[in-house]
Amino acid sequence: MRRQAAEDAFVDRLVRGFTRSPGQINRPHESDAELVRLPGSELVLAVTVDQIVEEVRAGLYDDPYLLGWMTVAASASDLAAVGAAPLGVVIGHVLRPDTSDAALDALQRGIADAANAAGLPVLGGDTAFDSAASTSATAFGVVAGGAAMTRRGAAIGDRLFATGPLGSGSVFAWAKRRGETAPRFLPAPRLDAGALARGFASAAADTSDGALAACDLLLPPEGVDVVWDAPPEAYLHPDAARLAAGLGIPPWMLLAGPHGEFELLLAVPEAAAGGLVDIARSRGIRFLDLGRFAAGTGAVRFPGAGVSIDPAAVRDAQRAAPADPRAFLRALGEAARPLSARDREVTPHATR
């Protein structure tokens, strides 16, 4: 068994005394959204809660419009990762008593715009007042006809797809944490791609904590590695590639979060990959073909870069969450080790 990230161990501790619902499909850590059968129905309800607290404290979302957008989009992205059709969202506001009318209006516009973009109507909410602001959202969706996607199910031989270029969330966070001008950042959750992929993918997770954290969540308990065949230009957002070059750090570090975006990573059996890509293309959805699941020990391998990453160690570095991004990069370095010459061989990158 490979090492468990500290966050997963903490969650196990939180839930150990709880009585499990007989209708719940997923176990802890197994799914981006909780999945529960609706009694007297063929439907599965998908439910997910996300709180935006640390990001506000760190100053990442000092723009109230962005805070509103991210509040809704973060929970919508979890629905996308299970392939659910969006049903609605309820919002928890914690407001400072001195919140200006303009800030409150901008917050609500961000919520409304993200809700409209995701097709996820705001059903209601609750407002509290406190000396420090935060938000939360609980999104609901429905899975009809077939099983929901979970994080469990990737197998050796599966391909690794992404719904779009990665690393823009890290670029945004890096700039904000260093007090520099951040690029425009209003990431869209991939609900259409998730709903489409549900019939094809063996497993899925979103990149809200970075793509390497998503890999950790997708890796089976033992015996499997993720191998990124793709060269950096195939998976990094252009801003992320530029930042990596400017900082002189390896491109994979831009996949290490902890502030991600809302792409999906999908494990897709080889036999289903062509069909998914064809149908997706006919609907205007493009997938990036990043690599594959291969026999291994729970690592994420980048043959082109010559490194192997322990993705649980990446998540632990995120959790330690140093306010200093350079200290975080040093911790990341300790999660990597050089690949053997044999493992540096790059499988020819498939074009889809």
Residue closer to a copy of itself, measured from CB, 126 or 324 = 126
By CB under 8 A, is residue 234 in contact with a copy of itself?
Answer: no
Q: Which of 87, 204, 88, 189 is nearest to 142 (CA)?
A: 87
Question: How many C-beta atoms lie closer than 10 Å to residue 225's C-beta?
Answer: 23
SS3 sequence of 247-286: HCCCHHHHHCCCCCCCCEEEEECHHHHHHHHHHHHHCCCC
By CB under 8 A, is residue 122 in contact with a copy of itself?
Answer: yes
- Letters for 37-76 (x = contact with a copy of itself by CB under 8 A, - = none) are -xxxx-x-x-xxxxx-xx--x-------------------
- The distance of Cα 208 from the centroid of its chain, to the nearest Å, equals 3
Question: How many C-beta atoms lie closer than 10 Å to residue 122's C-beta?
Answer: 17
- Letters for 297-336 (x = contact with a copy of itself by CB under 8 A, - = none) are ----------------------------------------
Q: How many residues does the chain have?
A: 352
Report residue 350 as tokens.
């498939």
Cβ 226 to a copy of itself, closest distance in Å? 25
Could you tell me which residues come within 8 angstroms of residue 283 by beta carbon, excluding any fewer than 6 positions away?
192, 196
Q: Which of 203, 155, 284, 164 is nearest to 30 (CA)?
A: 203
Do you find a cis peptide bond into 258, omega within 30 degrees of 0?
yes
By CB under 8 A, is residue 146 in contact with a copy of itself?
Answer: no
Among 1, 18, 180, 282, the residue binding a copy of itself under the rule CB under 8 A is 18
The DSSP bridge pattern shows strands 34-37 and 203-206 to be: unpaired
Cβ 172 to a copy of itself, closest distance in Å? 19
- Find the binding residues for a copy of itself in span 94-113 (CB under 8 A): 94, 104, 108-109, 111-112
The site for a copy of itself, by CB under 8 A, has a size of 61
Cβ 143 to a copy of itself, closest distance in Å? 11
By CB under 8 A, is residue 129 in contact with a copy of itself?
Answer: yes
Instruction: State the residues that interact with a copy of itself by CB under 8 A.
Output: 10-11, 14-15, 17-21, 23-24, 28, 34, 36, 38-41, 43, 45, 47-51, 53-54, 57, 85, 87-88, 90-94, 104, 108-109, 111-112, 115-116, 121-132, 134, 136, 138, 140, 142, 144
